[in-house]
Structure 1
Amino acid sequence: MKFAVIVFPGSNCDADMYHAIKDELGAGVKYVSHTETNLEGYDGILLPGGFSYGDYLRCGAIARFSAIMAEIKKAAEAGKPILGVCNGFQILLEAGLLPGALRKNDSLKFICSPVKVKVENNRTMFTSGYEEEQTLTIPVAHGEGNYFCDEETLASLKANGQIVFTYEENINGSLENIAGIVNERGNVLGMMPHPERAVDVLLGSADGLALFQSIVKQWRESHVVKA
């Protein structure tokens, strides 16, 4: 399996994501510029955290117009796994690949700390390696991670099992403690916590590694040639 780590102007977690895939997961990975217009050679697409385009206007608001986004939408439509972390989550929301929005933290302060995150749905291609309601320790680093959506969208997220991760303690004001959601099809995940920064106990936690392992496991199972 080969992953693409999308690099936007202002991305600063791309190296973390690359390390997690190459050195900890042991899978193929390559940096791909926001100017590229072809993602056909990749099986999974990763949008890292950072401050794309300096977070001007709104977080992710300018990045959504990058040339690569048309290809990311095609990959999503083809059923390929798409993961957006922190700023990557913000970009997926701005691009309409996930519902809702991210507002400034209730405290109006930047939060950078390990947090407890609960697995709400372990029946996705991203979470099959976890137990349902398992508690993970994964760091966050954001100023605009306060997830919000209207009542109709929230009801739909609940009914379809699209709420994948929640905070054990609401750190930023997010509706229903939401930390990560998937699209209806289940192949696009956006989350504020950084699993790529929790792939080795030397980093304080290895709880994020199973997320990437789950993606590879699902990909391998879907590509098994049946006799």
Structure 2
Amino acid sequence: MRIVLWFVMVFCCQLSAADKTLTVAVNIGPPWAFYEEGKGITGIDVEIIRHVFTNMGYKTEFQLLAYNRLIKEFNAGKFDVASPAAFSSENGYLTIAYLPFKDVAVSLKRNNITLNFIGDLKDKKIIAYQFASAVLGDEFTTVITTAHYLEVAERELQLKLLVNDRTDVVIGERRLLTYIGQNFFPNETLAIHPIFVTKSYGAILKDKHLQQLFDQELATLKTSGVYQQILSKWP
């Protein structure tokens, strides 16, 4: 009787999961999360999250948001999941890290700018992503006090300002800036300056039990090789 009851409970849980659609806010920025004609919302972060929840029996509904709006709306309870989570919240639970973000400084190769250390940014004109000053550490925070510094949400605009010589340096994630440079400014060659340490981030979920299950399924995804296959699609 107990065995029958256990199977009934498992079956009911599976039905419940199958009927549940999770709302997921992702920070817009290719190749991590972006809209592709004929395919919809895709990218590294999107595909990892989609695989994990599909394997758990859930459907997912994604929305692309600027990062400040992503944080605000998750904290307001509008989404079940938000990613990446470079912030903590009383309203959610952080997953294990799975997004290997490599922040770099980028300049135009034709300008022959040398950047070997964070301190070399001193007195430069710098554009960075939203909340970069809170993410990149104390040394960076000190340096930008003597620099012409601006945080801009739109990634294409960041590189457009660089290409038009309105800034010396753009700071952002390597895959993202490389993708935008190749697709929108193919006639310019970017110089990549790896002056920051790699930081990995996860997602944040409203439900603690769901977060724990997410972590378990993510570990399975890595073991199966699917996780690495997704990363390799957008090197």
- Whether the TM-score (by the shorter chain) exceeds 0.5 is no
- The structure richer in helix per residue is 2
Q: Which has the higher contact order (CA 8 A, sep 6+)?
A: 2
> TM-score, length-normalised on structure 2?
0.27
Mark the structure with the bigger radius of gyration: 2
